[in-house]
Structure 1
Amino acid sequence: MLEIIIGIYAGICWLIFKKFKLLPWNFISKVIVYSLPIFGTIFLILSLNYYCPITSDIRVINRSVDINPQILGRVKKVYVTTNQEVKKGDTLFTLDPEIYIQELKSLEARLKSSESNLASGNENLNAAYSNVSSLQSQLDLANKRVEQYTKLVAGGAANRFDLEQAQANANDLQNRLNSARSQAQGIQVNLAASYEGENAGLAELKAKIAQAKWNLEQTVVLAPADGTIPNVSINEGAILSAFKSAFVLIKKEQSVIGLFAQNELEAVQPGDEVELALRTEPGKIIKARLDFVIDATSQGLLNNAGGMLGGSVASLPDTSRPYPEYEGKLAAKFIVDDPNTVLTTGARGDATLYSQHMKAMHIVRKVMIRINSKLNYIIPKLH
């Protein structure tokens, strides 16, 4: 565009001074003619860069989601193919559910058995207390007989064998009473143990059943969002472990990010007009708006260990790096005006921002961005 403006200027000067000779071609006119484009070009370039910043580093970004099962299993059936579009909730693939079905049935059977045992637990407790009461009565009677035989033996009215027999009977009843009390106490503890107002044993089984049902549900893997499957890398019969990525889903939601020098975005505001010229869309101008500017760079961030995040390694600044060290750029996010526009993921190109100032200069940038868009048709390869 600058070359076109200079060419037009040179043509006008030729017409004025050479063709029609409207003004004399002397020293003063020469100084003016040669100085005007120099200072005009400097003013134009500086004004354009400040009020209509342009960048050749924009990127179309889609978020991706790793599709991985939450459980171990063998792939039973795959429902998607490479480069297929899916909707949220669509079935992607299933795992063999048989082992989880059997686990669920086993736990449900154990729950039925435990509920039955709990129902008869009160009866068992009453029976245990009745047994304790009966043994206590028998022990009291046996102790009285021991006391009676002790007095009779002391008076010579009974033999010692009867006394020893009564003492042995009393000791046996005492042991049986202690055992019955322990049994009754154990039954009572089991009945009294609870979790959130429910029998602890039943609560544990119900929790295991809920986990088993969740595991069974995870045998059907669903799409978490609308998007595209770029590559299906699994097949039926493959063994997948928990949290092992099966493939990637590229979400439909797109972001267009432009990177600018740190002093280029002073005059622009959110909502300002943006024009995009992508290499994947030669000859086409995509209208957009400035959403926001991320007012930070990775070179100014510290991680938890106190290291700098200026690069791929989170460490202190690398002083052995060749100087000058490049400054981090600011990222600006754009919103495409047409929500139905689908851009190529990873597309690169140019973007121009138009501030609310010096609007007369917008035409220069608009011409430049359109020329860049047309140049995207050219493929400069020698092979």
Structure 2
Amino acid sequence: MLELLIGIYAGICWLLIKKLKLIPWNFNTQVVVYSLPIFGSIALILSLNYFCPITSDVKVGNRSVDITTQTLGKVKKVYVKTNQEVKKGDTLFTIDPVPYEQEIKSLEAQLSNMKSTVSSYTSDIDASRKNILSLQSQLDLSNKRIKQYQELVAAGAANRFDLEQAIATSQDLQSRISAAQAQKTSLEAKYHSTHNGENASIAELRAKLDQAKWNLSQTVVLAPTDGLIPNVQLNEGAMMAPFKSAFVLIQKQQSIIAFFSQNELETVKEGNEVELALKTAPGKVVKAKLEYVVDATSQGIMNNAGGMLGGNATTSGIPETARQVPETDGKLIAKFVLDENEQPLTVGARGTAVIYSDHIKPLHLIRKVMVRVSSKINYLIPKLH
């Protein structure tokens, strides 16, 4: 564009000075004629860069999601293929559900048995109480016999063996009473142990059953969002482990970012018009709007030790809006959003971007021509092989 303006200027000078001879060709005229394009070009370039900033560092990116499963098992069937678009909720692949179905049946049987066991706790506790009373009566009788044998042995009317046998019987009854009381206490603890108003043993098995049902549901892996699956290498019969990535899903939502020098974005604001000339779309100018400028770089963020993070350091200290995009190496990031009538862009596309501020709008025409020339140049493939 600059070359075209200089050519037009040269033509006007030739017409006025050489052809029509309306202006004399002297020293003063020569100084003006040669100086004007130099200083004019400098002023034009500086004005364009300030009021219509341009950059060739544009990146189009889509967030990705690792498709994993939280269950262990063999892949039963794969429903997608490479470069396939999917909708949220579409089935991607399934894992053999048989082990999890068997686990559910086993837990359902255990839960049924536990309900029967808990319902019998009342009768078991009552039986234990009666058993303790019976044993206590036998112990009382045994203690009376011991006293009788002691009196008879002292009088010489009974042998000592009968006394020792009565004492052994009493001790055995005491042991049986202690065991019966322990059994009764255990049954009462199990019967009265509750969780959220339900017997604890039943609640535990019910929780295990719910977990088993959830595990079964995870054998069907669904697409978490709309997107594209660029590469599928998963095969039927492969073993999947929890949190092992099966493949990657590229989300539909795109992030279009551009990197500008720190002094280039003084005149722009959110909502300004943006034009993109991408290498993946030669000859086309893509319309967009400036969504926001990330007013932070990693070089200005201090870590806990008081030092600067630097260009390749972590972004843990950067605000949330800044952490949504990559490192800037000291440049400011501008994020764009496509106009509604624009089609999604190629993931990973690179190119040129221009932001048109609200100042000196006649400059927009010059910059628009430059962007369109740049888009046409994208047709050229300068390779020697």
The TM-score with structure 1 as length reference comes to 0.91
What one-letter code is carried by the residue in structure 1 that aligns with 2:29? S
**What corresponds to 2:14 in structure 1?**
14
**What corresponds to 1:177 in structure 2?**
177
Q: 1:13, CA displacement in angstroms? A: 0.9
**What corresponds to 2:382 in structure 1?**
380
Distance 1:98 1:345 in 2: 40
1:33 and 1:241, CA in 2 relative to 1: closer, same or farther beyond 3 A?
A: same
Indicate the larger mover: 292-301 or 145-154. 145-154
What one-letter code is carried by the residue in structure 1 that aligns with 2:351? G
Distance 1:57 1:327 in 2: 12
Distance 1:230 1:170 in 2: 83
**What corresponds to 2:351 in structure 1?**
349
Distance 1:105 1:143 in 2: 54
Q: 1:154, CA displacement in angstroms? A: 4.3
1:328 and 1:35, CA in 2 relative to 1: closer, same or farther beyond 3 A?
A: same
**What corresponds to 1:117 in structure 2?**
117
Q: 1:172, CA displacement in angstroms? A: 2.6
Distance 2:304 2:118 in 1: 53
Determine if the alignment matches structure 1 residue 128 to structure 2 residue 128.
yes
Q: 1:15, CA displacement in angstroms? A: 0.9
What one-letter code is carried by the residue in structure 2 that aligns with 1:280? T
Checking the alignment, whether the CA contact within 8 Å between 1:293 and 1:331 is kept in structure 2 is yes
Determine if the alignment matches structure 1 residue 30 to structure 2 residue 52.
no
For residues 240-276 of structure 1, give each alpha carbon's deviation from its aligned partner in whole angstroms, at most 9, with x where no partner exists.
2221111111111111111111111111000000011
Which of 323, 330, 333 aligns to 1:331? It is 333
Q: 1:49, CA displacement in angstroms? A: 0.5
Distance 1:308 1:68 in 2: 37
Distance 1:176 1:191 in 2: 22
Q: 1:313, CA displacement in angstroms? A: 6.0
For residues 61-117 of structure 1, give each alpha carbon's deviation from its aligned partner in whole angstroms, at most 9, with x where no partner exists.
111111112111111111111111100000001111111111111111111111111
1:239 and 1:304, CA in 2 relative to 1: closer, same or farther beyond 3 A?
A: farther
Distance 1:218 1:231 in 2: 22
Checking the alignment, whether the CA contact within 8 Å between 2:73 and 2:239 is kept in structure 1 is yes
**What corresponds to 1:225 in structure 2?**
225
**What corresponds to 2:242 in structure 1?**
242
> 1:258-269 counterparts in 2 under 5 A?
258-269=258-269
Describe the SS at the equivalent of 2:132. helix
**What corresponds to 2:271 in structure 1?**
271
**What corresponds to 1:255 in structure 2?**
255
Determine if the alignment matches structure 1 residue 284 to structure 2 residue 323.
no
What one-letter code is carried by the residue in structure 2 that aligns with 1:298? S
Checking the alignment, whether the CA contact within 8 Å between 2:82 and 2:232 is kept in structure 1 is yes
Q: 1:189, CA displacement in angstroms? A: 2.0
The TM-score with structure 2 as length reference comes to 0.91
Q: 1:41, CA displacement in angstroms? A: 1.1
What is the RMSD of the two structures over their aligned residues, measured on CA atoms? 2.1
Q: 1:159, CA displacement in angstroms? A: 5.6
> 1:34-73 counterparts in 2 under 5 A?
34-73=34-73
For residues 291-313 of structure 1, give each alpha carbon's deviation from its aligned partner in whole angstroms, at most 9, with x where no partner exists.
00111223334566877553446
1:253 and 1:314, CA in 2 relative to 1: closer, same or farther beyond 3 A?
A: closer
Checking the alignment, whether the CA contact within 8 Å between 1:107 and 1:209 is kept in structure 2 is yes
Indicate the larger mover: 146-155 or 207-216. 146-155
Q: 1:150, CA displacement in angstroms? A: 3.4
Describe the SS at the equivalent of 1:263. coil
Unpaired runs of 5+ in structure 1? 316-325
Distance 1:289 1:120 in 2: 73
For residues 188-244 of structure 1, give each alpha carbon's deviation from its aligned partner in whole angstroms, at most 9, with x where no partner exists.
222233333332222221121111111111111100110111111111111122211
**What corresponds to 1:107 in structure 2?**
107
Indicate the larger mover: 20-29 or 196-205. 196-205
Distance 1:69 1:301 in 2: 37
Describe the SS at the equivalent of 2:120. helix
Q: 1:314, CA displacement in angstroms? A: 5.8
What one-letter code is carried by the residue in structure 1 that aligns with 2:106? S
Indicate the larger mover: 132-141 or 363-372. 132-141
1:306 and 1:218, CA in 2 relative to 1: closer, same or farther beyond 3 A?
A: farther
Distance 1:271 1:56 in 2: 20
Indicate the larger mover: 331-340 or 93-102. 331-340
Checking the alignment, whether the CA contact within 8 Å between 1:308 and 1:314 is kept in structure 2 is no
> How many aligned residue pairs are there?
373
Distance 1:331 1:7 in 2: 36
Distance 2:117 2:60 in 1: 64
Q: 1:21, CA displacement in angstroms? A: 0.9
Determine if the alignment matches structure 1 residue 369 to structure 2 residue 371.
yes
What one-letter code is carried by the residue in structure 1 that aligns with 2:287? K
**What corresponds to 1:321 in structure 2?**
none
